[in-house]
């Protein structure tokens, strides 16, 4: 399968909170496994419906407010025998500054 991504994904673990805007506002917790300017890879215990829209707050270790983004669930796969799921999120718009904040925080640069 050809990789059609426009932006490189960066492997990083960041905690996040989300609200499902397509349901009754169900909220949950997750952790990123990778990020890019237009997408997120997540691990969560929560069930997700493909094409659901999420409001997401990424907690970056830069001591600023969480990065708020919105995106759509594009795929969801169970992780083995565990109750965890791996989720792919396509962001509503590119988040270059958010990606930069995540990279800077990952490298220990304080803004």
CATH number of domain containing 79: 2.40.10.220
- Residue 95's contacts (CB-CB under 8 Å, 6 or more residues apart) are 37, 38, 67, 69
Asked whether residue 2 is domain-assigned, the answer is no
Lowest mean pLDDT among 24-28, 42-46, 92-96, 101-105: 101-105
Asked whether residue 32 is domain-assigned, the answer is yes
Residue 2 confidence (pLDDT) above 60: no
How do strand 67-78 and strand 85-91 relate by DSSP bridges? antiparallel
Asked whether residue 56 is domain-assigned, the answer is yes
Please list the residues that pair with 56 across neighbouring strands: 18, 69
The rounded mean pLDDT for the chain is 83
pLDDT of res. 50? 95
Give the total number of structural domains in the chain: 1
Asked whether residue 100 is domain-assigned, the answer is yes
Asked whether residue 53 is domain-assigned, the answer is yes
Domain, as residue range, for 88: 10-106
Whether the CA torsion 70, 37, 60, 34 is positive or negative: it is positive
Distance separating alpha carbons of residues 111 and 56, to the nearest angstrom: 22
The arithmetic mean of pLDDT across residues 39-51, rounded, is 93
SS3 state at 6? coil
The arithmetic mean of pLDDT across residues 41-69, rounded, is 90
User: Model confidence at 24, in pLDDT bands (50, 70, 90)?
Assistant: confident
Rounded to two decimals, the pTM is 0.80
CA dihedral 45, 25, 68, 39 (to 10 degrees): 50
Q: Cβ(96)–Cβ(37) under 8 Å?
A: yes
User: Model confidence at 35, in pLDDT bands (50, 70, 90)?
Assistant: confident
């Amino acid at each position: 399968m050809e990789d059609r991504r426009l932006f490189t994904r960066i492997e990083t673990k960041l905690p996040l909170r989300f609200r499902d805007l397509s349901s009754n506002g169900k909220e949950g917790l997750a952790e990123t496994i990778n990020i890019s300017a237009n997408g997120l890879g997540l691990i969560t215990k929560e069930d997700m419906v493909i094409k659901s829209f999420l409001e997401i707050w990424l907690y970056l270790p830069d001591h600023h407010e969480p990065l708020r983004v919105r995106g759509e669930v594009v795929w969801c796969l169970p992780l083995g025998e565990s109750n965890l799921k791996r989720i792919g999120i396509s962001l509503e718009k590119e988040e270059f500054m958010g990606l930069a904040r995540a990279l800077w925080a990952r490298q220990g640069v304080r803004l």
